[in-house]
A and B are shown apart, each in its own frame.
Chain A
Amino acid sequence: MEHTTQLIPAGVTWLFAGILTLMVLCLAFEEKLHAKKSVITGVTAVVALFLGNAFQIFDLSHAAGHMPFYIPFIDWEVILIILGSSLFVDIVSRSGIFSWSAIKLTRLSKGDPVYLLAYYSILTVLFSAFLNNVTAMIIVGSLTAVSLAKLKQQDKLLGFLLTEGLLTNIGGLLTLISSVPNIIVGQRAGISFMSFFFMAAPYVLVATLATFFMAKTVFKIKRLKTDEEKAAAARLVASFDASDGIDSKGFFWFSWFMFALLILLFALDSVLPVFKELGLGFLAMSFAFLMLLKYRNDVDKNYKSLDWDLLFFFATLFCVIGVMERAGVLGMIGQVIAGLIQLGPQAGPMALMWGAAVMSSVTDNIPLAAMLANILGGMDNLDPSLWWCVIFGANLGGNISPIGSASTVVAVTIIHKNKIKLSFMQFVKQAVPFAFVQLVIASGYILLRF
């Protein structure tokens, strides 16, 4: 939305900065507050809009009569991509294609722990890249717990689940739609699906290999030794029936086709006439509605499966950021970031990436990415490496602490469900070396590419 820059009194800016800080702190301690994200950002949005209007920080001269003036604050393209993709993935997952792939790879490993870790690592990265990090962790983490229990290898469960949790945030870097920070920053920076992929893929490959070999060493994952052990393990994993969750073969193959077609269209969206103007959100929603035809008389259960907390979180968060922008708070933070960037052509971007990583390890990476995207978007002659510093920092920071990302929260939940004790600090102790190596590789990669 176009808005005129108004002179905002410093006291008002500081008041709104205080409101933003309070919101960020509440998001960091959401578990302790027993409050969902959308409620925190929703209440903040209500307060911020009320106070903003009371202090007359909004320019209402361009507001359309039929639409509240704060509605254009929301990035509807981002909302549509998330809404459409979530709905599409939920319907497609009912066909059994994801569980089928996961079980096929489990069988392929013949129950050998090293192969199993390798296949689950690949699966985690791919699922995180093309579904979302949380769904990837739920599918691969659940299968890991079941398969290691059947193989009587529960002592390795902690290592497997931690590795998978850490890899969700690596896989989340692979494509423009792999994680919410990617969508937000990518949209703002105007990065196409394929440009994103070609930039991120080499890093994802190297970081996945590094994480796998580190995990194999740190968690002492070794191959089976005797032929008897190998035969017994192979027989046990052969008992997994990949077709168990497939109710309809036709729907199963149709889902594969639609899944592949959606990825292809995402990849080609920026060059395809007609689609180019309609955007990724249109594509995601179109495919969701096409798949809903399968459950045309019973769509309620599909709508129920949507993460409404996440959707309301985005909508209200965008409102909060819109208010903060107009209250001068983002400009104030932008000055700090500009100071960081001025540290030098190499030190500046690195400071931004590592700073973003540390910030997203203690609070949600989505508001951070949204805020930084807005700030960087308002800067002139921007070094393109800075966009990537935000993307890498916001994603990889999730690997530093158990609350750093939604997928690591799921990993810890599965760990606790399996009666394995893991405190906050134990997680940090185990995860920090991995996150450090991943960030060092990212630093080297960005310096090399730009």
Chain B
Amino acid sequence: MELDQAASLFRSAWKQDYLYQAPPLKNITLITDRDSAKSAEILASVQRYLAVLGPAESEWTVLTKADFQNVKDLIIACEQSPPDLIVTYRHLWTDEKDLHHSLGVYLDMLTQATSIPVLVLPHLQDKNYANVLENTDEVMVITDHLSEDQRLVDYGVRLTSRGGKLFLAHVESKVDYKRYINIIGKIPDLNTEIAEEKIANQLLKEPRDFILACTQQLAEQDLNLEVIPLVTFGHTVRSYRELLEKHQIALLVMNTKDGEQLAMHGDAYSIAVEFTHLPLLML
């Protein structure tokens, strides 16, 4: 046995553990671009949708169109007394509901200029708006294993209705994997066949191990959730679309911040602009 082999063995044996800690979701701010009356209707539908939070446990604030005139005002309003969660919908101040490839300038700023989690609902005029806001019985969390996965799963657990299904999904990019295998194929010192097999196994093993740790921990805490692991190789956005079509997902939870920078990372942005009909919790 060589030194590096032993070190790899023990590094692999150490599993990222998981301990559920309910995230604080006491102060929630709903942002709309409508008047007070319409905003109250929206608030009622959102509260129904997020019934899992319990009506008595959360304090809601509503910012209507009268409360901000531009993006800057909105950011200041949010940062003055930062809520635990912002709830809003796509294309604020835009009536064009079919705008793809953008979240709208207000949401772009909210998700990138603040560190507050944002729950993005479909546009009010989206034909699925009412349907998707029924409950959070089926929630999918995209575990990217870049940072703060613990927090990501905590939010997923907190927002899934008791007795509901929590899908912990991880799609490993086949494009990236192939690229590295092609590089290894050009290095005579490295055995390409072994690398191909071992790297593929290890890439899928890590998210599976983490999901297993989550499942065991949640079962121990008796949270009455069915945890379903979905781990696969594929093209990130395409594969998530396939998974979403296969399951009736009511909320998609994902990380958007990449390390230290606040700008949304590549995959998160693609998913955010692609799945316009689905509520997204962007952490």
Contacts and interface: CB of A to CB of B under 8 A. Distances in A.
Contacts of B9: 99, 142, 244-245
Given A90-B1, A93-B1, A138 B13 contact: no
A99 to B, nearest CB: 5
B13 A242 contact: yes
B2 interface: yes
A146 B17 contact: no
Interface string A217-238: 0000000000000000001101
B145 to A, nearest CB: 16
Contact of B6 (A138, A235, A240, A305): A138
A245 B7 CA distance: 12
Contact of A241 (B1, B3, B15): B15
Contact of B12 (A93, A102, A245, A414): A245
B210 to A, nearest CB: 11
A156 interface: no
Contacts of A216: none
B73 to A, nearest CB: 44
A102 B6 CA distance: 11
A142 B3 contact: yes
B224 interface: no
A438 interface: no
A142 B14 contact: no
A103 B7 contact: no
A142 B7 contact: yes
B15 A239 contact: yes
A142 B15 contact: no
Interface in A302-359: 305
Contacts of A139: 1, 6
Contacts of B270: none
Nearest to B16: A239
B5 to A, nearest CB: 8
Given A235-B17, A239-B15, A241-B15, A146 B10 contact: yes
A145 interface: yes
Contacts of A188: none
Given A143-B6, A145-B7, A146-B7, A103 B13 contact: yes
A63 B118 CA distance: 89
B179 interface: no
A146 B15 contact: no
B3 A138 contact: yes
Interface in B182-212: 209
Interface residues of B, number: 16
A20 B10 CA distance: 43
B11 interface: yes
B11 A146 contact: yes
B12 A244 contact: yes
Residue from B1, B2, B6 with most neighbouring chain A CB atoms (10 Å): B6
Nearest to A301: B194
Interface string B1-36: 111001101111111110100000000000000000
Contacts of B11: 146
Contacts of A235: 17, 19
Nearest to A238: B17
A444 B72 CA distance: 83
B17 A150 contact: no
Given A90-B1, A93-B1, A135-B1, A142 B13 contact: no
A430 interface: no
A385 interface: no
B191 to A, nearest CB: 11
Interface string A192-222: 0000000000000000000000000000000
Contacts of B19: 235
B1 A240 contact: no
Nearest to B12: A244
A369 interface: no
Nearest to A414: B3
A239 B19 CA distance: 11
B16 A142 contact: no
A286 interface: no
Interface in A409-425: 410, 413-414, 417
B13 A240 contact: yes
A99 B2 contact: no
30 contacts: A93-B1, A99-B9, A99-B10, A102-B10, A135-B1, A138-B6, A139-B6, A141-B3, A142-B3, A142-B6, A142-B7, A143-B6, A145-B7, A146-B10, A235-B17, A236-B17, A239-B17, A240-B10, A240-B14, A241-B14, A241-B15, A242-B13, A244-B12, A244-B15, A245-B9, A245-B12, A410-B3, A413-B3, A414-B3, A417-B3
Interface of B: 1-3, 6-7, 9-17, 19, 209
Given A99-B6, A138-B2, A143-B10, 12 more contacts: A93-B1, A99-B10, A99-B13, A103-B10, A139-B6, A142-B3, A142-B9, A236-B17, A241-B13, A242-B13, A244-B12, A244-B13
